Amino acid sequence: MLAVKVFGKQDMRVVNVPKPTIDKPSDIIVKVKACGICGSDKAIYNGSNPFVELPRVMGHEFVGEIVEIGDEVTEFAVGDHVVIEPISYDGKCYACRQHMPNACVNLKVLGVHQDGGMQEYIKVPALQLHHIDKDIPWTTAVLSEPYTIAGNATTRGEVGLSKTVVIQGAGTIGQLSLRVAKAKGARVMISDVAQDKLDFAKDNGADAVVNVKNEDLVEKVKEWTNGEMANVVIDAVGAPSTFKTCLDIASVAGRIVPMGFSSAPVTITQQPIMQKQLTICGSRHQTFQFEPIIQAIEAGVLKDDGMTNQRFNIKDAQKALDLMNNDPDKARKIVLMFD
């Protein structure tokens, strides 16, 4: 069967690998139908992802149909449509005991530490599978995992009814965080340097947009909130400058959710953190977000609505990565298809 495997920096090949087989009575084999390409996949390809172990079959945003099950599998059946949860954890460490398995000391991620979904078939434990209605198109179902990232960030930020939320960055995760925040009843402003991304955000529910190329974000937030500033700030850019801005635009008792994993140092002062009693919340992957996100997708609360705007066959994976590298503004979400 075909798989997209990275061997080194910008050395990605579509190769033939053995098809998985049922070895244990609890095994489940899924035929992959669609796999999204994420910024972390781009980082793996470009040699800048600090967590990946090479060589590796990429892909952690994927969905498919069950084609074979072991004798002891009872909660799933052949033909079921499923979303794959890419993380696994030990359930015993301090993070897991604090109900944060996404920060487990022994965390493993499909497509990073273990071979992921950019292959025609994959064997996945039942614990990492979630049912999804067969009426949901694969190109919508594949957004489940990135939507859980937005779900986790908004949960960490305690986004809720009537709160004001500012999202820095109108890329894929910023756009999905906008939609989840709106679904939770918040008022949302989103900022970026690309006007077309801001226009797309406005069409998809943003209450206000700010182009930081020619507008002052701090002043715009002050005006939009009548001086209160933002109750929740989500930094979906992850640059040192945007993180520093978070402290300026957060309200008293505000919450800041940085989503990047840049290792660049940031110089900030303690005063606004103390004076405003700010809470800064890390957000990594997701915790228990798949079921509510899938239910929201099935209910039509969370949709595709133009997010998956680029689709490639698995055989054209190189073209997909080239597009993401060379012309990322054309790709809100690139999806590899397997039929």
Report domain extents, the chain: 2-142+308-337, 150-280
- The per-residue DSSP string of 271-300 comes to HHHHHTT-EE----S-SS-HHHHHHHHHTT
Q: What is the predicted pLDDT for the residue at 279?
A: 98
Give the predicted TM-score (pTM) of the model. 0.96
Fold of 2-142+308-337: Quinone Oxidoreductase; Chain A, domain 1 (3.90.180)
Percent of the chain with pLDDT over 90: 93
The pLDDT value given to residue 51: 85
Residue 113, pLDDT > 90, answer yes
Contact in structure between 130 and 268 (CB atoms under 8 Å): no
Among the listed residues 126, 131, 30, 122, the one whose alpha carbon sits nearest the alpha carbon of residue 74:
126
- Give the CATH superfamily of 150-280: NAD(P)-binding Rossmann-like Domain (3.40.50.720)
**Distance of alpha carbon 74 from alpha carbon 56, whole angstroms:** 31
CA atoms within 13 A on the CB side of 47: 5
Average pLDDT, integer, range 87-105 = 97
Range of weakest confidence among 2-6, 186-190, 210-214, 324-328: 324-328
- Rounded CA-CA distance 12/321 in Å is 9
Residue 260 in contact with residue 234, Cβ under 8 Å? no
